Structure 1
Amino acid sequence: MNPDAEIDHEAPMPVYQQLVEILRARIERGDWAPNRQILSEAQLVQAYGLARETTRKAVRVLIDEGVLFTVPGRGTFVAER
């Protein structure tokens, strides 16, 4: 998916999955280097116009896949490949 893509609420793909693909594309493009923090949950909500739970679900998918990791009190970071 295009890293600059916008969320399409009418598309058959669930909104959280669209965000997963956008974030993955941004990481692959190099917007966020390994061990660097991504946007905060609040910033993602604002940037993509999504509900907090939707954003949280998308980030959780990438954490579960090992693409991202969290540091309590610090934020969410890109994992080493």
Structure 2
Amino acid sequence: MAAREIDPRAPEPPYRQIAADLGGEIERGELAPGRPVPSEKELVERYGVARNTVRSALAVLRASGHVYTVPSRGTYVADRPVADPREGDE
């Protein structure tokens, strides 16, 4: 799979760009509820970034309620995103 464009000069860090891209796929239904998110390895290849960058992006999606992780099984699309109660407290 070809790498997606991540702009290293953008004000938003790469992990947030990836989280936004995957979040968009979830919201558009391209990644369906209950289905697995591509593996870390696949996402590393897709975006051309380090594994820790992918892990940070997935952490953002977990915090926003877009995905959940089952230990030793993988990360899956949640039925419905739940807003982080800390959002908007700034």
Q: Same fold (TM over 0.5)?
A: yes
Matched residue, 1:72: 71
Aligned length: 77
Give the whole-Å Cα distance in 1 for the aligned partners of 2:32 and 2:15.
22
Matched residue, 1:31: 30
Give the whole-Å Cα distance in 2 for the aligned partners of 1:26 and 1:66.
14
The alignment's TM-score, normalised by the length of structure 2, stands at 0.80
Gaps of 5+ in 2: 81-90
| Equivalent AA in structure 1 for residue 23 of structure 2 | R
Q: Secondary structure at the match of 2:34?
A: coil
Q: CA deviation at 1:79?
A: 0.4
Give the whole-Å Cα distance in 1 for the aligned partners of 2:45 and 2:39.
10
RMSD: 1.1
The alignment's TM-score, normalised by the length of structure 1, stands at 0.89
Name the one with the larger helix percent: 1
Give the whole-Å Cα distance in 1 for the aligned partners of 2:38 and 2:76.
9
